Amino acid sequence: MSMSKNTLSDSMNIVLGRFQPFHNGHEYLVNAALELGPTVIAIGSSESEITMNNPWDVDEREAMIRAWLNGRDAEIVHIPDINDPPNWVEHATKIHGEGVLVTSDESTKILYQDSNFPVHWVDLSNRESFEGWRVRVTLKMLSTVYEVDAQKQVMQASIPEEVVEWLIENDALHRLYSMSQGIEHAG
């Protein structure tokens, strides 16, 4: 979906994340941006190799987001890493465009504000529950559970239902189990 650049008074809202996976914290943040107006969802680390910290490629992450959007209008762009924080905002802006960053991440807020990029802060309650690494650890544990209803029930505590369905339909949990083989486990 392509959206035209807007004037400053009708600026584009930008939500930036890795979305590994798209979880309830992301849902809250994107909903806040959508309520403000036209929104670009910028998927970072778009070229990252598949690892336990990045278990889904950019196309899979976009598919999760599109499943959640369920036809609602938002542009989705992919932003590769440059591993150069002082130049990140300039790099990312070339891809996500000008507008207002909508964020709940303190370091991202500071990075964009230091580049004189407008920022809209969104407070999240229970932010620590919606950290991507926590969600991935839970999913890794669930990858050993073969009862789909049990998987769904646990996942829906931190992941929107549409994304849970996408993860199940695309056998996306099994990958976490496969990736963890050969890794020493605690306990």
pLDDT recorded at residue 134: 85
The CATH homologous superfamily to which domain 10-121 belongs is HUPs (3.40.50.620)
pLDDT recorded at residue 125: 67
Tens-digit pLDDT string for the chain (187 aa): 333 333 333 689 999 999 999 999 999 999 999 999 999 999 999 999 999 889 999 999 999 999 999 999 999 999 999 999 889 999 999 999 999 999 999 999 999 999 999 999 999 867 666 778 888 888 888 888 889 999 999 999 999 999 999 999 998 888 787 776 655 544 4
Q: Which residue, among 59, 74, 70, 49, has the nearest Cα to 19 in the 3D structure?
A: 59
CA separation for the pair 79, 96 (Å, rounded): 8
Task: Give 174's contacts (C-beta < 8 A, 6+ positions apart).
Answer: 143
Q: List, by residue range, all CATH 3.40.50.620 domains of the chain.
A: 10-121
> Please, are residues 52 and 180 in contact by the beta-carbon 8 Å criterion?
yes
pLDDT recorded at residue 9: 38
pLDDT recorded at residue 26: 95
> Please, are residues 46 and 58 in contact by the beta-carbon 8 Å criterion?
yes
